[in-house]
Amino acid sequence: MSELHEWRANKNEYFAMDRNAPLTAEQQAVFRGLQYYPERADLVFRVTPEVFDDLETVEMQTSTGHTALYTRWAQVRFEVGGQAAALTVFRDPTMGHLFLPFADVNAGGETYGAGRYLEPVFFDDGRLQVDFNYAYNPYCAYNDQWSCPIPPPENRLDVAIEAGEMTWESGH
């Protein structure tokens, strides 16, 4: 089993069994697993982050109307299907974790309407791995009791990212 398939299987098990998962008990009772695009090697990027000179803290709107604070850290550039694309990577100001919220042209159709998340990983050489196969829906996609940051306008892509988690339908 590949690392990606193991990650997906573990997530399905967590969603199905764990009382801390975002699903209600009723949703867990009929849960059959999440839907994913097939793995795409061409949507895995090793990129050099272009760190911003002015690391500003921004308020990101959430699904419940609140805001969450993030540091606007760097921009990453890549190409999808011959089309140039760029996204802003944020950092959690407290823990320092990287956070890449984004929405693609499939948002609201094949993918969750508000967008998806990704957590880039550092390589020893300072570059980042941006692997869209690990793109996932925020917890508010499953249960509106969760408050989730909404990808800002600068992270809305004009291309389809046909990798990672797809729209979830209750009980699927």
Classify residue 32: in a domain, yes or no: no
pLDDT tens, position by position, 16-68? 999 999 999 999 999 999 999 999 999 999 999 999 999 999 999 999 999 99
Nearest CA-CA partner of 50 in 110, 153, 126: 126
Whole-structure pTM value: 0.93
Q: Are 16 and 31 in contact (CB under 8 A)?
A: yes
Distance of alpha carbon 143 from alpha carbon 24, whole angstroms: 7
d(CA 70, CA 15): 27
Residue 151 lies in a domain: yes
Question: Does residue 78 lie within any of the structural domains?
Answer: yes
Q: Is residue 76 part of a domain?
A: yes
Hunting for tokens 């309407």 — which residue is that? 113
Q: 80 in a domain, yes or no?
A: yes
Integer Cα distance of 100 and 135 in angstroms: 9
Residue ranges making up the domain that contains 133 = 39-155
Within-domain flag for 74: yes
Total domains present in the chain: 1
- Give the 3-state secondary structure of residue 96: coil
Q: Is residue 70 part of a domain?
A: yes
Q: What is the pLDDT of residues 100-114, one digit of tens each?
A: 999 999 999 999 999
